[in-house]
Structure 1
Amino acid sequence: MIRIAHISDTHITGESAYKGYAYDLISNEVNRLNFDFVVHTGDVTNNGLREEYERAEYELKKIRKPLVVVPGNHDVRNVGYDLFEKFIGPLNGVYEFKDGVLIWVDSTIPDLSDGRIGKHKFRWLKKKLEEYSDRRIKIVAAHHHLVPLPNTGRERNVLYNAGDVLDLLLRHDVTLYLCGHKHVPNVYRVEDLVVVNAGCASCRKTRRGDVNSYNIVTIHDDGKAEVTIRRLTGEEVRAEHKPVRPKLFVPRGKRLFRIVQLSETKVSDRVYFRRKVLENVVNLINDNLKPDLVIHNGDLVDMGIERNFQKAVEFWEKIEAPKLIVPGHSDMTYLGYELFPEYFGEPETVSMGEFTFIPVSTPQYETEIGVVGRFGQKKLEKEIENAENFKVVFMHHNVVPIPKSRERGFLEDAGDVLKLLTEKGVELVLTGHGGNAFAVRVERTIIINAGSVSWELHRNPFGNSFNVIDIYPCMVIAFEVQATWGSRRLLGVWKLKGPRAGGS
């Protein structure tokens, strides 16, 4: 068993922003309790100034346990990255412990709040994960958050290449990702990866009137991870996650439902629109796949002009199965706000047998950035609560980062929306932004993104594609289908819990 104290965002300075008494309370408690080592995930200082580093060096010595410190965006202000190495230690490194390894990575960009694990550091991280692939426990630590966080206002400063980093960690069976940055404590299970954000240990800038806190992380010999968010008020919030084993599932019972998921058809006169590919997909759907429902996750047209919508309707009407659609950001350009509802109607919640399909319209006029909004979240929450059966929420914008797509806060309230979806027990979320297929389970919510089905300017090495999602009594299986050849690639298999799991 390994026990870790996780602190972050001390923001040590001579100014009133720093709460020295809070830091002393936490450091004394850490020294008193049984921890194998301590991880500080950045923003040690407030402005990266020399006098702050001099004080930080003194304050950090109060922790009398092995200590790993990761640089944060405040630490690299004013060329503070040079001072970090002088007063604290290396910006990137490896700490080995019994049965495991901790790899920390500098995710900062000088003088910006945004984060990035760039090409060279990404390759270094990949090499280290391969080098220590035999370790039972693999921990990666960086300053910036990996998945959107609730209660942070507008979602921003997630790693620019968060999707690539998340994919890398999942592929290498990383146990734990530790980070800070947004001053919000939070724990998510993403497949078998436990993503742990720390709140701020000793800074006055907390969210929603919260208090200072730190995390206690315990990894047991059976792989179970326990995380306790411990606030200075004495309040504790616990989360527990155990890896899913075995990984191989066999469907039991008859298939309940089949969904074909499309996105980014981008119908237009432009050379980038692959008309023949889309015609082939329509034939595949009608002749071979025969789904119970086709869902289009937006960007039906390239630009919101009447000529494009007229052509899109021709394709849409050729699909013989029942169909649902939500608008994407390109659908809302020019006259799209008027034309989309005229040609396709306003998205509405639909029930089909044991399944309820809840649309969320996220695009905003003339921008790639989407939003659900506080009003929209309340409406969504009510619709989820009113649905007593299998709930499928579908929208255009992403709620988790997508590989090979730069994250720039495309859904500006993604953190609050993701928390709503997971806490309310939504079984399946379908999105369609970013031009690449990706699927992952966060907590008990399966999230599947569709790539571009017929637009040449995509980001998918598999080519133009769409997804087929089969729902069984005990599991969900998702395949990506290559739009030209019809070949398949498994996106994921997830076991269902609850009434449909057949008692398992």
Structure 2
Amino acid sequence: MIRIAHISDTHITGESAYKGYAYDLIANEVNRLNFDFVVHTGDVTNNGLREEYERAEYELKKIQKPLVVVPGNHDVRNVGYDLFEEFIGPLNGVYEFRDGVLIWVDSTIPDLSDGRIGKHKFRWLKKKLEEYSDRRIKIVAAHHHLVPLPNTGRERNVLFNAGDVLDLLLRNDVTLYLCGHKHVPNVYRVEDLVVDNAGCTSCRKTRRGDVNSYNIVTIHDDGKVEVTIRRVTGEEVKAQHRPVKPKLFVPRGRRLLRIVQLSESKVSDRVYFRRKVLENVVNLINEKLKPDIVVHNGDVVDMGIERNFERARELWDRIERPKLVVPGHSDMTYLGYELFSEYFGEPETLSFDGFTFIPVSTPQYETEIGVVGRFGQRKLAEELDNAENFRVVFMHHNVVPIPRSRERGFLEDAGDVLKLLTGKGAELVLTGHGGNAFAVRVENTIVINAGSVSWELHRNPFGNSFNVIDVYPCMVIAFEVQATWGSRRLLGVWKLKGSRGGAP
């Protein structure tokens, strides 16, 4: 068993922003308890100044356990990255321990709050994960958060390449990702990866009137990971995850539902729209796949003008199966707000055969940035509570980062929306932004993003594609289908956790 104390965002300074008594309380508790080592995930100082580093060097020595310190965005202000190496240690590194390894990486960009694990550091991290692939426990630590966080206001500062980093960690069976940055403690399970965000240890800037805290991580010999968020008031919140075994499942019983998921058809008269590809997909749906329902996750047209909607509607009507569609950001350009409703109607909740499909409209006028909003979140929560069967939520903007797509907070309240979906236990969430197919399970909620079905400007090495999702009584299987040739690749297989009503 390995026990780790995870602290973050001390913001040591001579100013009132620093709460020295909170730091001392936590440091003394860490020294009293049985920890194998301590990880500080950045923002050691407040402004990266020499006098702050001098004090930080003194304060960090109060922790009498092996200590790994990761740089944060505040630490690299004022060329503080040079001082970090002088007073604290290397910006990137490896710490080996019994049965495992901790790899920490500098995710900061000088003088910005944003984060990035750039090309060279990404390759270095990949090489280190391959080098230590035999370790039972693999931990990666950085300052910036990997998935959107709740209770942080407008979503921003997630790693620009969070999707690529998340994909890398999942492919290399990383046990734990440690981070800080947003001053909000939170724990998510993404597949078998535990994403552990620490709150702030000794900064006055907390969220929603919260208090200072740190996290206690226990990794058991059987692979179970427990995280306890411990506040200075003594309050504790615990989460735990046991890895899924076995990894392979066999469908039992008849298939209950087949969904064909499309996105980014972007119908237009521009050269980037591949009409023949979309026509081929329509034929595949009608003649071979024969789904129970087709869901289009937005960007139906390239620009919200009438001739594009006319062409899109003509192609949409050729699909001989039940259909649902929500608008994307390109649908809402120009006259799109009026024309989308005129040609496709307002998205409405649909229930049939033990399944409920709940639409969420996220796009805004003339911007790629989407929002659900506090009012929309309350409405979504009510719909999730009222549905007594298998719930499928579908929207345009993605709620988890997508590989090969720069994350800039496209859904500005993604953190709160993701927490709502996972907290309510939504079984399936379908999204369609980013031009690349990707699927993960966050807690017990399966999130599947569709790539571009017929738009040449996409980010998917597999080419234009769409997804086929099959639901069985015990499991969900998702495939990405190449839109021209019909070849498939597996996106994921997930065992279902219990049942609701007459659904699986």
Q: TM-score, normalised by structure 2?
A: 0.99
Q: Give yes or no for the alignment of 1:273 onto 2:270.
A: no
| Superposed displacement of residue 27, structure 1 | 0.2
Taking the aligned partners of 2:502 and 2:242, their CA distance within structure 1 comes to 21
Contact 1:465 1:480 in 2 (8 A): yes
Contact 1:474 1:500 in 2 (8 A): no
1:142 corresponds to: 142
| Secondary structure in structure 1 of the residue aligned to 2:143 | coil
1:58 corresponds to: 58
1:165 corresponds to: 165
2:487 corresponds to: 487
1:202 corresponds to: 202
Taking the aligned partners of 1:464 and 1:40, their CA distance within structure 2 comes to 43
| Superposed displacement of residue 501, structure 1 | 12
Q: Give yes or no for the alignment of 1:213 onto 2:213.
A: yes
Taking the aligned partners of 1:40 and 1:463, their CA distance within structure 2 comes to 41
Taking the aligned partners of 1:498 and 1:446, their CA distance within structure 2 comes to 14
Taking the aligned partners of 2:499 and 2:94, their CA distance within structure 1 comes to 45
1:186 corresponds to: 186
- TM superposition outliers: structure 1 runs of 4+ over 2 Å: 499-504
Contact 1:392 1:428 in 2 (8 A): yes
Taking the aligned partners of 1:502 and 1:366, their CA distance within structure 2 comes to 42
Taking the aligned partners of 1:65 and 1:349, their CA distance within structure 2 comes to 55
1:454 corresponds to: 454
Taking the aligned partners of 2:470 and 2:248, their CA distance within structure 1 comes to 16
Taking the aligned partners of 1:65 and 1:210, their CA distance within structure 2 comes to 27
Contact 1:475 1:501 in 2 (8 A): no
Taking the aligned partners of 1:162 and 1:232, their CA distance within structure 2 comes to 31
| Superposed displacement of residue 100, structure 1 | 0.1
Taking the aligned partners of 2:117 and 2:289, their CA distance within structure 1 comes to 40
Q: Give yes or no for the alignment of 1:319 onto 2:319.
A: yes
Taking the aligned partners of 1:355 and 1:25, their CA distance within structure 2 comes to 51
Show the 5 A alignment for 1:12-411.
12-411=12-411
Taking the aligned partners of 1:364 and 1:66, their CA distance within structure 2 comes to 49
Taking the aligned partners of 2:186 and 2:501, their CA distance within structure 1 comes to 29
Q: Deviations over 1:468-488 (max 9, x none)?
A: 000000000000000000000
Gaps of 5+ in 2: none
Identity value in percent? 90
Assess, with a 3 A threshold, how the Cα gap between structure 1 residues 87 and 397 changes in structure 2: closer, same or farther.
same
| Secondary structure in structure 1 of the residue aligned to 2:369 | strand
| Superposed displacement of residue 419, structure 1 | 0.2
Aligned residues: 504
Q: Give yes or no for the alignment of 1:7 onto 2:7.
A: yes
Taking the aligned partners of 1:395 and 1:322, their CA distance within structure 2 comes to 17
Q: What code does the residue aligned with 2:243 have? A: P
Q: Deviations over 1:149-198 (max 9, x none)?
A: 00000000000000000000000000000000000000000000000000
Q: What code does the residue aligned with 2:113 have? A: S
Q: Deviations over 1:239-296 (max 9, x none)?
A: 0000000001000000000000000000000000000000000000000000000000
Contact 2:394 2:429 in 1 (8 A): yes
Q: Deviations over 1:186-229 (max 9, x none)?
A: 00000000000000000000000000000000000000000000
| Superposed displacement of residue 9, structure 1 | 0.1
Taking the aligned partners of 2:162 and 2:297, their CA distance within structure 1 comes to 22
Taking the aligned partners of 1:425 and 1:177, their CA distance within structure 2 comes to 23
Taking the aligned partners of 1:181 and 1:266, their CA distance within structure 2 comes to 37
Taking the aligned partners of 1:303 and 1:480, their CA distance within structure 2 comes to 26
| Secondary structure in structure 1 of the residue aligned to 2:57 | helix
Assess, with a 3 A threshold, how the Cα gap between structure 1 residues 302 and 241 changes in structure 2: closer, same or farther.
same
Q: What code does the residue aligned with 1:345 have? A: G
Taking the aligned partners of 1:222 and 1:484, their CA distance within structure 2 comes to 45
Taking the aligned partners of 1:426 and 1:499, their CA distance within structure 2 comes to 11
Taking the aligned partners of 2:499 and 2:415, their CA distance within structure 1 comes to 29
Taking the aligned partners of 2:108 and 2:503, their CA distance within structure 1 comes to 47
| Superposed displacement of residue 499, structure 1 | 2.7
Taking the aligned partners of 2:253 and 2:343, their CA distance within structure 1 comes to 39
Q: TM-score, normalised by structure 1?
A: 0.99
1:475 corresponds to: 475
| Secondary structure in structure 2 of the residue aligned to 1:57 | helix
| Superposed displacement of residue 127, structure 1 | 0.0
Q: Give the aligned CA root-mean-square deviation in angstroms.
A: 1.1
| Secondary structure in structure 2 of the residue aligned to 1:446 | strand
Contact 1:295 1:323 in 2 (8 A): yes
Taking the aligned partners of 1:406 and 1:441, their CA distance within structure 2 comes to 21
Taking the aligned partners of 2:503 and 2:338, their CA distance within structure 1 comes to 48
| Secondary structure in structure 2 of the residue aligned to 1:167 | helix
Q: What code does the residue aligned with 1:320 have? A: E
Taking the aligned partners of 2:164 and 2:108, their CA distance within structure 1 comes to 16
1:415 corresponds to: 415
Taking the aligned partners of 1:476 and 1:216, their CA distance within structure 2 comes to 33
| Secondary structure in structure 2 of the residue aligned to 1:81 | helix
| Secondary structure in structure 1 of the residue aligned to 2:63 | coil
